[in-house]
Amino acid sequence: MVAETTAHRDRDSLDVAVARLLFDLCDALRVALYRVVDDQGRLRVQRRVAFTATGGEEGSQDGVAVEKLAPLDECPSWAECVLLQDVVHLASAADGAERTVFPLHDETSVFGLLEIDTQDGLRPREAGLVCSLLRIVRNHVALLDYGERDTLTGLLNRKTFESSFGKLLQLAVRGTERQGCWLGVIDIDNFKLVNDRHGHLFGDEVLLLVSRLMRDTLRGVDRLFRFGGEEFVVVLDATAEGALAAFERLRAVVAEYRFPQIGTVTISLGFTQVLPNDSPAAAVERADAALFHAKRNGRNQAHGHERLIADGLLVTKVMNAEAELF
């Protein structure tokens, strides 16, 4: 069973498999697995999946979280578990069950929480078994991160974006008339000049600092990717106005930051809404078209593809039954 669980190569599928395995092993009334994210300097918690004795799986749909973030300090047991990086036992949960909270952590921080509710509490042998399993999962997650993340910035890489695009389509399908899934392509302006004038070590420092500003400025649930070179991709859920505000805020934060030895660095942004029948190439192409418009018109700008089309500033040309944007 453990081998089957750790055979998963996707973080969301792994979350579901771990929760299901522990639900069965511990004869639990409820098992819930949460992600801990740094949301603009404040730790928040998002439930990824939960299994209950009454039947069913709740908290996610096909591996895509549907719940919003909750502050870590909303639940004292969460906060204590993260602070101590150790197991926390509660005499009684809200429904009278005995609850045990386990941290999922690496060498530096807690990245997840696991709650197990049982009728009479976990016996020491059961708690030890859970801790041993979580150590195996931690090692497996480290291997997944090694393959999914950019080695310089720590952001997700382009391969991960392409392999997880199907989940973005699920979010696009579930989007309402107001709320949608948005994809932004970010390019550091005149990055070649930074490398030419200051050397590649300073260029790498700029990439690291821009990636840090992205993490600090955007929400913890927003997905950040480095596509290679000086190009990044951001995926977020928002209204059209919210997406523009988020990207404009990021642009302004980078422009106002003073980079050591270099001074001012700016970014240009193009973004588009992910459509239910999109392909990765089509969505990125639309965002790229808006990005090129920003570059051609002075840089240090953020533009949405849909607004540019509506204003007549971009043209859609149909060629060989395929849309080409220029």
Can you list the domains of the chain with their CATH numbers? Answer: 2-148 (3.30.450.40), 156-325 (3.30.70.270)
Residues 6+ apart with CB under 8 A from 193: none
Which residue matches tokens 């039954």?
Answer: 321
The 10s digit of each residue's pLDDT in 97-113 is 899 999 998 878 899 99
Banded model confidence at residue 290, pLDDT cuts 50, 70, 90:
very high
Residues 6+ apart with CB under 8 A from 139: none
Banded model confidence at residue 143, pLDDT cuts 50, 70, 90:
confident
Residue 321 sits at φ, ψ, to 5 deg, of 65, 15
Q: What is the mean pLDDT of the chain?
A: 87
How far, in Å, CA of 303 to CA of 310, rounded?
A: 12
Q: Is the pLDDT of residue 1 over 60?
A: no
The 10s digit of each residue's pLDDT in 216-270 is 999 988 999 999 999 999 999 999 999 999 999 999 999 999 999 999 999 999 9
Q: Is the pLDDT of residue 319 over 70?
A: no
Banded model confidence at residue 56, pLDDT cuts 50, 70, 90:
low
Please tell me which of 15-24, 68-77, 211-220, 309-318 the model is most confident about, judged by mean pLDDT.
211-220
- The reported pLDDT for the residue numbered 12 is 78
Count Cβ atoms below 10 Å from residue 315 Cβ, excluding itself: 11
The residues annotated as belonging to the active site are 230
- The reported pLDDT for the residue numbered 63 is 41
